[in-house]
Amino acid sequence: MSEEYKDNKIEAKSADSSSGGYAPPAEHIPAKEAPEQELYHAKSFWTKWVFSQDAKVIGVQYALTATAIGLIGLVLSWGMRLQLGFPETFSFLGPATYYQSVTMHGMIMVIYLLTALFLGGFGNYLIPLMVGARDMVFPYVNMVSYWMFLAAVLVLIASFFVPGGPTGAGWTLYPPQAILPGTPGSEYGIVLMLVSLAMFIIGFTMGGLNYVITVLQARTRGMTLMRMPLTVWGIFTATVLALLAFPALFVAAIMMTLDSMLGTSFFMPDIFTMGEKLKTGGGSPILFQHLFWFFGHPEVYIVALPAFGIVSDLISVHARKNIFGYRMMVWAIVIIGALSFIVWAHHMYVSGMNPYFGFFFATTTLIIAVPTAIKVYNWVLTLWRGNIHLTIPMLFSLGFIVTFVNGGITGLFLGNVIIDIPLSDTYFVVAHFHMVMGIAPLMVVFGAIYHWYPLITGRHLNQTLGKIHFWVTFLGAYAIYFPMHYLGFIGVPRRYFEMYDSPYMTSGVGLNQFITVAALIVGFTQILFLYNIFSSVFKGEKSERNPWKANSLEWHTPDYPPTHGNFGKELPVVYRWPYDFSVPGSDKEYIPQNVPPSQVPTAKVEIT
């Protein structure tokens, strides 16, 4: 325990006993049973900003690294789109480059951008602030977690520069083709990819340990689990999912690395090539698919649940209304999390399985639609008769709801075995998952950045650029993915380098060109957004404290933006949930979580 905080604790105690005389019993503050957390106080520039143990700095580091690698993912998608829209035009795009772009784009976006941004970025920044902790419970481990992530990203980037280039096996990395000659990067690229994934998982486990235990054990007084903002619920549940699901990818990655480097045959079936049988054989590629999707499906919810949580808070704050059905929202998050572990084989309908399994997995998949739909209804009902402020976070939240419903409904089609089989491996699938786990979570990421940017930097992002960013991204996403659904319906298969003169492509050529142009425009708008982020640090309009008039603790720190230790001398005490907006009878429009009942005597209970 540092000297600084030790003294404060004694002060706090004496303040308690002296104020006990006139405070109403409801406000009696119980003495803290556990001693306050030891904090590491950085002395130098290096330990403060580079090898930092402060969760806020680590969160920003995570977010910046994820954004940097995400930009590479974005550029790769342009390469793919140029090839698909205007084949045989660009000499730098061969089949190998195309497949490598597809693979790296997918893996980067799903794991190194979205997972790292939601859990590493928002998780680190928001969890301690929102639950009223000074920092994560294991700050050192948290720091190591970030550096493991950075190392994983560097290994991934290194795979671009090895002989043969990065792997081109598709983001699912299915063996045996991923490690057989003929697939780009089957020698070195795939190994670096697998090593990078294993490092990411080890790093994430260290971070995940922090997020889970901080939420469970390090909350401030009065902050019960059911008083936490839904953001924390979403990130918490997603982290639990990730801790249980990433091991499957880890196991698969280790075994495939051995198959590739030591010549074992965990996944390698009997293969004849050039008239000769390979030395490896007898392994099961389907086993890899099961392991991969046992991770891969929860991964969808690892990305979606934090987005659900964050968007609930954004909608509630910017519509000045309590979230409709808070408990139901929490239940839905937990139920979706639990169900996500028993639906994985719906990604494998065409891999061949017992028909009863197909029936089982189709059923569980459709059941997930129930809690998900409840969430959508609750968001809409929160907006109903709300005092909706059309701020940029709200615009993005609305964009999220529409996009998520869109992607969710196409998911209902794909979840049914009988409809999935003709649609499988077409652009319909590509459009579906980009809508539901690409665009929808990104809408939330953008909304959340516009929402919390003032908290992090003390300045607002440029509003005009923000509006342009929103409208181009929102309309542009639909310009890209609506035509793509149609391409899927007419039977255009995904992962084809070029369609040549296929008869069913006649009506698709123009559409493909249109999609490419839209994708380029949307992509460049993201660069405008990044410009906004970096220039607003210096030039942005100064934000007053708590500009959105939110209730959750992160806006009510003594220093604004919050500084080391988050809450200054004394940790806040929580008296209410974070959704007390427009409470009947209260003279205040909103009541922050740390306002005791005695300060708002006229406030009535809101019936939810």
Partner 1 sequence: MSKRELNIFKLLSQKPWESSQATIDNAHDGKTLGLSKANLGVRTIMVVSTVIFSLFVVSYSDRMLVHDWKSLSEPWLLWINTVILIFTSIVFHKTKILSDQNKFEKAKNGLLLVGFLTFAFITGQLLVWQHYVNLGQYASTNPANAFFYLFTALHGLHVLGGLFFWGRATTKLFQNNYSVTKIKQAIGLCSVYWHFLLIVWMVLFGLMIAT
| Cα distance between residue 484 and residue 438, in whole Å | 14
The angle, 0 to 180 degrees and rounded to 10, between the axes of the packed helices 440-457 and 124-131 is: 60
- The piece of 10-18, 283-291, 469-477, 559-567 that touches partner 1 (CB under 8 A) is 283-291
By the rule CB under 8 A, 605 interacts with partner 1: yes
Nearer to partner 1, 237 or 536 (CB): 237
Nearer to partner 1, 506 or 598 (CB): 598
Q: Of residues 33, 88, 276, 587, which one binds partner 1 by CB under 8 A?
A: 33
Q: Residue 267 in contact with residue 281, Cβ under 8 Å?
A: no
By the rule CB under 8 A, 586 interacts with partner 1: no
Q: Residue 365 in contact with residue 415, Cβ under 8 Å?
A: yes
CA angle 172, 176, 177 (to 5 degrees): 70
By the rule CB under 8 A, 186 interacts with partner 1: no
Q: Of residues 149, 577, 581, 590, which one binds partner 1 by CB under 8 A?
A: 577
Nearer to partner 1, 148 or 218 (CB): 218
Nearer to partner 1, 212 or 431 (CB): 212
Q: Of residues 1, 213, 380, 527, which one binds partner 1 by CB under 8 A?
A: 213
Q: Of residues 510, 558, 597, 601, which one binds partner 1 by CB under 8 A?
A: 597
By the rule CB under 8 A, 174 interacts with partner 1: no
Nearest distance from C-beta of residue 20 to partner 1, angstroms: 14
What residues numbered 330-369 form the site for partner 1, per CB under 8 A? 330-331, 334
By the rule CB under 8 A, 262 interacts with partner 1: yes
Spatial CA neighbour of 455 closest among 354, 556, 603, 362 = 556
Q: Of residues 21, 30, 352, 355, which one binds partner 1 by CB under 8 A?
A: 30
What residues numbered 286-305 form the site for partner 1, per CB under 8 A? 287, 291, 294
Q: 3-state SS of 503-557?
A: HHHCCHHHHHHHHHHHHHHHHHHHHHHHHHHHHHHHHCCECCCCCCCCCCHHHCC
Spatial CA neighbour of 441 closest among 268, 309, 294, 604 = 309
DSSP character string of 345-388: GGG-GGG---HHHHHHHHHHHHHHHHHHHHHHHHHHHHHTT---
Nearer to partner 1, 105 or 227 (CB): 227
- The piece of 303-311, 326-334, 492-500, 538-546 that touches partner 1 (CB under 8 A) is 326-334
Nearest distance from C-beta of residue 173 to partner 1, angstroms: 16
Q: Of residues 81, 105, 134, 219, which one binds partner 1 by CB under 8 A?
A: 219
By the rule CB under 8 A, 310 interacts with partner 1: no
Secondary structure E strands in 448-511: none
What tokens appear for 170 in the block? 């598709």
| Cα distance between residue 558 and residue 479, in whole Å | 45
How many C-alpha atoms does 209 have within 13 Å on its Cβ side?
16
Q: Residue 500 in contact with residue 539, Cβ under 8 Å?
A: no
Nearest distance from C-beta of residue 29 to partner 1, angstroms: 8
Nearer to partner 1, 121 or 222 (CB): 222
| Cα distance between residue 172 and residue 292, in whole Å | 7
By the rule CB under 8 A, 466 interacts with partner 1: no
Spatial CA neighbour of 298 closest among 329, 354, 340 = 340
Q: Which residues pair with 426 in a beta bridge?
A: 493
Q: How would you class 328 by CB atoms within 10 Å of its CB: exposed for 0-12, middle for 13-18, buried for 19 or more?
A: middle
By the rule CB under 8 A, 85 interacts with partner 1: no
By the rule CB under 8 A, 224 interacts with partner 1: yes
By the rule CB under 8 A, 587 interacts with partner 1: no
By the rule CB under 8 A, 255 interacts with partner 1: yes
Q: Of residues 250, 292, 308, 404, which one binds partner 1 by CB under 8 A?
A: 250
Nearer to partner 1, 209 or 429 (CB): 209
- The piece of 62-70, 249-257, 350-358, 411-419 that touches partner 1 (CB under 8 A) is 249-257
580-583: which pairs have CB atoms within 8 A and are 24 or more residues apart? 580/322, 580/551, 580/606, 581/316, 581/317, 581/320, 581/321, 581/322, 581/551, 582/320, 582/321, 582/387
| Cα distance between residue 38 and residue 25, in whole Å | 31
Nearer to partner 1, 275 or 282 (CB): 282
Spatial CA neighbour of 336 closest among 375, 310, 296, 287 = 375
Q: Which residues pair with 493 in a beta bridge?
A: 426
Q: Residue 600 in contact with residue 591, Cβ under 8 Å?
A: yes
Nearer to partner 1, 266 or 470 (CB): 266
By the rule CB under 8 A, 221 interacts with partner 1: yes
Q: Give the x/- contact pattern for partner 1 in 510-549, rule: CB under 8 A.
A: ----------------------------------------
- The piece of 87-95, 129-137, 374-382, 410-418 that touches partner 1 (CB under 8 A) is 129-137
Sign of CA dihedral 81, 82, 84, 86: positive
- The piece of 71-79, 117-125, 300-308, 600-608 that touches partner 1 (CB under 8 A) is 600-608
- DSSP type of residue 113: I
| Cα distance between residue 601 and residue 266, in whole Å | 68
Other beta carbons less than 10 A from residue 332's beta carbon: 22
Q: Of residues 71, 96, 158, 244, which one binds partner 1 by CB under 8 A?
A: 244
By the rule CB under 8 A, 392 interacts with partner 1: no
By the rule CB under 8 A, 274 interacts with partner 1: no
C-alpha distances (whole Å) from 264 to each of 66, 206, 561, 587, 604 are 34, 30, 54, 72, 68
By the rule CB under 8 A, 327 interacts with partner 1: yes
* Binding region for partner 1 (CB under 8 A): 26-28, 30, 32-34, 131-132, 137-138, 205, 209, 212-213, 216-227, 243-244, 247-248, 250-251, 254-255, 258, 262-266, 279-284, 287, 291, 294, 322, 326-327, 330-331, 334, 573-577, 579, 597, 605-606, 608
